[in-house]
A = this chain, B = another copy of it.
Amino acid sequence: MDTQNKIIIVGAGLCGSLLAIRLAQRNFNVTVYEKRPDMRGGKQAAGRSINLALSARGLLALDSAGLKSAILEKCIPMRGRMIHAPGETPFLSPYSGRSGDYINSVSRPGLNTALVEAADRYSQISLNFNTPVIDVDLQHAKIRYKQNGQLLEDQGAIVIGTDGAGSAVRRSMMGQSPELLFNYSQDFLRHGYKELSIRAADDGGWQIEKEVLHIWPRGNFMIIALPNLDGSFTLTMFHPFDSEVGFDSLKTEDAVQAFFERYYPTLLPYIPEYQEEFAANPVGTLGTIKCYPWQAYGKALIMGDASHAIVPFYGQGMNASLEDVRIFDGILAQYAPDWDKVFTLFQDERKANADAIADLAIDNFFEMRDRVDDLNFIRKRKIELELEQQFPDYYSKYSLVTFRPELPYSEAMKLGRKQDEFLLDICSRDGFDEIPLAEYYQRLKSLT
């Protein structure tokens, strides 16, 4: 095989498999190394972040590879948040005032399998599973990987690491920190997560409202539920490690039972197996990883979670990683095979946007935790939805991030924050509800 035309991709997750497809469509030869088994075999890790919200940015990226409609068939639309506040009737808070705006519940293994199947149809792509990459000789785009207990090597024109938050390619960059002036940070929240589930009804249907994202907000913690195609829901419990009811304290069945009975009584009838699941499923951590540069020597690049892992509170982790592929593809179309230029332009365009969505996701964690009951926030949300209904070209911060895929995250953040500041200020004053909607609209529009 011609090394000059060969691209090595490390990691066949969502980002890596979409990238492989786009590169094959541009007639590069692609060799993919994935440490996990081929998930088409049906095996997958239990209790680990297996439900995701696919929204406009991810869909636009999938569309660029001609995969949007096929993937949408595997999704369930979610039009808003169904909020299960303690002692109140659940109510729906739409994601947008525009009826066409919605996000999509999709299973990570389902989506990943579909992308791997699509990749496997290209003769230019060679897929290798059960082949963990040990390290990368960055200057020479040479990898060392393990296969059947043997340590082997491969070399391409370039290596792209799409190997997630624990990236081996990034680890090799870290190993050359002084030479690359490699900046890096990892920040954990003192909250973790655990997955639970609601089974399908006996007739195969959904036991609770299907086309929404359910939230049981409880101040410092919450549970969310996303619908699956088979009638089940995947629940994720976002929970502190060290409060008096934190994970570190819920060590006995009695403690777990008392906790659920006190905080989630209306959910309990739907999760009869919660004790077994609570005991069996691991607690995951929630961290933000930032680094820079993302490329080394014009020979190696990291993308997706490998270069910017974020917390899940904006529903944008996967979308940002898929968007990486779309942006990279656009630059590559112009400048390949000048990889040094492609990589440099990519990291320079993308870094500020990756930082922006990372920061927005952290903001949302604190907002969901501390502000969900805040009167000014509730007022603001009401005005935003009315604005979006009456003025379809108005986008709230959430909508800018979620439903305007052509707008870079950094610009969505900047404009969205200005709008929030303006609205929160007004909502804290008397008479905020006497201002005509059209005046809000004009004043917000002047912020752009």
Chain A residues within CB distance 8 Å of chain B = 177-178, 181-188, 190, 241, 285, 287
Contact = CB atoms under 8 A, between A and B. Distances in A.
A185 B183 CA distance: 8
Contact of A285 (B178, B187, B190, B287): B178
Contact of A181 (B177, B184, B185, B190): B190
B178 A187 contact: no
Nearest to A181: B188
A210 to B, nearest CB: 34
Contacts of A186: 177, 182-185
Leading 6 A-B pairs by shortest Cβ distance: A185-B185, A181-B188, A178-B285, A183-B187, A184-B186, A183-B188
A447 to B, nearest CB: 30
Contacts of A183: 185-188
Contacts of A241: 181
A185 B188 contact: no
Contacts of A187: 183, 185
A188 B190 CA distance: 27
A178 B188 CA distance: 8
Contacts of A287: 177-178
A187 B181 CA distance: 8
Nearest to A242: B181
A166 B412 CA distance: 39
A182 B187 CA distance: 7
22 contacts: A177-B186, A177-B188, A177-B287, A178-B188, A178-B285, A178-B287, A181-B188, A181-B190, A181-B241, A181-B285, A182-B186, A182-B188, A183-B185, A183-B186, A183-B187, A183-B188, A184-B184, A184-B185, A184-B186, A185-B185, A185-B186, A185-B187
Contacts of A178: 188, 285, 287
Contacts of A182: 186, 188
A188 B179 CA distance: 10
A185 B182 CA distance: 11
A353 to B, nearest CB: 20
Nearest to A183: B187
Given A182-B188, A184-B185, A184-B186, 5 more contacts: A177-B188, A178-B287, A183-B186, A183-B188, A185-B186
A183 B186 CA distance: 5
Contacts of A184: 184-186
A181 B240 CA distance: 12
A194 to B, nearest CB: 14
A374 B137 CA distance: 46
A11 to B, nearest CB: 19
A186 B291 CA distance: 9
A186 B292 CA distance: 10
A430 to B, nearest CB: 35
Nearest to A178: B285
A186 B170 CA distance: 14
A190 B181 CA distance: 7
Residue of A187, A190, A241 with highest tally of chain B CB at under 10 A: A187
Residue of A178, A185, A190, A241 with highest tally of chain B CB at under 10 A: A178
